Structure 1
Amino acid sequence: MLLYVVLIYNLRSHLYLSIVHHFHNLKRATMEGEINNLIVVCITVLASICYCYAIGKFITKGPPRLLAILPIVCLFFYLPFTLHSIHFGSSTSFFISWLANFKLLLFSFGKGPLSSHPPIPLSLFITIACLPIKIQNHQTIQKSHKSPLNYAIKVILLSAIMGVYGYREYVHPKFIMILYCFHIYLCLELMLATVGALVRALGRLELEPQFDEPYLSSSLQDFWGKRWNLMVTGILRPTVYDPVRSISTRLIGKKWGSLPAVLATFFVSAMMHELIFYNVGRVKPTWEVTCFFLIHGVCLAMEIVIKKAINGKFRLSPIVSGPLVLMFVLVTSIWLFIFPALRCDFDVRTRRETAAFVEFVKNLDKFVKFTSFKAISR
């Protein structure tokens, strides 16, 4: 009987170790496959951008250049679907499907950051097209960059927020939701700031900041137009806002021509965010994200109407309006932004992917050391 128990225990232990070993191999294989897919995507994007650069030299701006670039625009919308991880899929959707495509559409008509006289070098063309950066115009007032202390504090805050997640059973769920909002903001700002710092150091370029402390906003106009994700604001203005405002001004007059332009801009932003969310979760859209941006678009349009109606005769103090704006953004974000992300198991999959990537790096480090040892031993 004792021999039977020992045999069963050994078989169970062997089976457990086999399952663990298979799971680690599966995570490694999955991450290796995703890395390979990412490399293919990067090579495809580089080749496509080089093609567009050549197109700019041989085909005049306007409909002919647009027709030549449209296949690349369609390809850039497709590429994120070849990636299955949250980090790579969402970043590719944001960088390539959204920003790069909009820059190429502007380039088709000789506008935007990719167009200049004389033409910019190919290396700079690729950098501007693929990355969420905007070269600072030296003819305008120079914007000061944030201090390293500012980013250090935000890194510490992000680490503290992630530490709180380990004790979520002792924390009120609504407070966790608020932390999710600040988590997304801090991650996005630090990621874009890191990309900007690398480009600034390697390319010796002076870049405009991507965020300007959005938690200090005094109005929705201030939040969306001057503080939140300025790279997106800078690309939506010439592609959506300005053309729609030009048309609506001729139809309804200059005073109210900005209202349809605001609504159109938020609608396009909503569609692009739905695309990013789909690439994150690969689930059927519930259109809550669209509702978030439409609500903010309508409220911003109402704010413009009220400001024009009172004509500066009355203005809320920033001490009052600031918290109201922040509260409105937080409540609508939790309601229409965070819940859809959680239904996609965003937090669980993020931790799982991070663990798989760490495991992949460890195995890659072991492989490099083993290869180096074999080379030395020979």
Structure 2
Amino acid sequence: MRLPQRTTSGAVELVDHAVSEPLAWEVPVGPAASRAVFAAAHVVPRVDAENVPGAPAVLDWDATLAFRHRLWSLGLGVAEAMDTAQRGMGLDFAATAELVRRSAAEATSVGGRIAAGVGTDQLEPGLHPLAAVRAAYEEQLALVEDAGAQPILMASRHLAAAAAGPQDYLELYSGLLAQVRRPAVLHWLGEVFDPALAGYWGSRDVAAATDAFCELVQANASRVDGVKVSLLDADHERALRRRLPAGVRLYTGDDFNYPDLIAGDGQFHSDALLGIFAGIPQIAAAALTRLDAGDAAGFRAALDPTLPLARHVFGAPTPHYKAGIAFLNWLDGRQPGYAMVGGLHAARSAVHQARTFVLADEAGVLTDPVGAAGRMRQYLAVHGLV
């Protein structure tokens, strides 16, 4: 088939691409034993909804929950209502609350692992007192725990705006951790994913922010299951996991370097809470099966070829990686249309998504490459690129 490709000069040319044969990946019999792994799941809107900027999110519950069941069937945990589900980018709080309740109930029905994001996005944008920020966190913490999900304390734009320094973060998070019913996950989302989070933990200097973050974890280690770090800085992650208390996991959120970080260095390794695993779940599950069997080379052989795809999907502007996750699942026939809440399916160009298709095909991501090619042709025709 002929696909558009951008040249180094910026021009677009059509190039031939021969679709690959589907690859047969190992199917796990249960969750990975050697690593704790979550895929941060996206949401599927109803195709007949007003999926435009500012409109309330109206979800296709059948498709949204079926995707989560696929993740559980592959032995992956579901990280629910995270930034991959468009928190703060189209998924309003009413839809978030229903999503958490429904997904947690589905997880219980199949014995699947689920954790869910606790944030402050029920507040209006803008500056709020720290007491209001804490109350918003507490409301969502109760929602998540009452639903039966493990809490993930997400980074908050409201806290970033209100906090005067590291002590405000330490006091607020310590107060939340004192209330959790089970150990929580702390989430450090870098400004590459959300510019409003610049200076999180009280400093724009990453070393100083890391010191404050480690102080919080050390002071509350018994109530912290792990930390989820999304800075896209592998060296920082390796250094951080050496500083964590015994028993506190580092869940990598580095969608640029995950094979190496999960594999580890022989002494330390990262577990995973990754958005890209929602786009490549079958390969992720097969790679972990190999790692469990002691086949480190087989783990890398499965996962390394997905890196070019992940780096493309999460390329700048990184916040719009969600369009790539939704596109991959539409290509593979796992949702009825390529649409996103808030109209964010328009956040990546057709040329960009053509490259997504090629890289997914080359990595063996597509379970039905011929069917995906047919959808790709339809998509390009709509955009005038056939």
Q: One fold, TM greater than 0.5? A: no
**Structure number with higher strand proportion:** 2
Structure number with greater Rg is: 1
Question: TM-score, normalising length from structure 2?
Answer: 0.25
Structure with more contact order per residue of length (Cα contacts < 8 Å, sep ≥ 6):
2
Question: TM-score, normalising length from structure 1?
Answer: 0.25
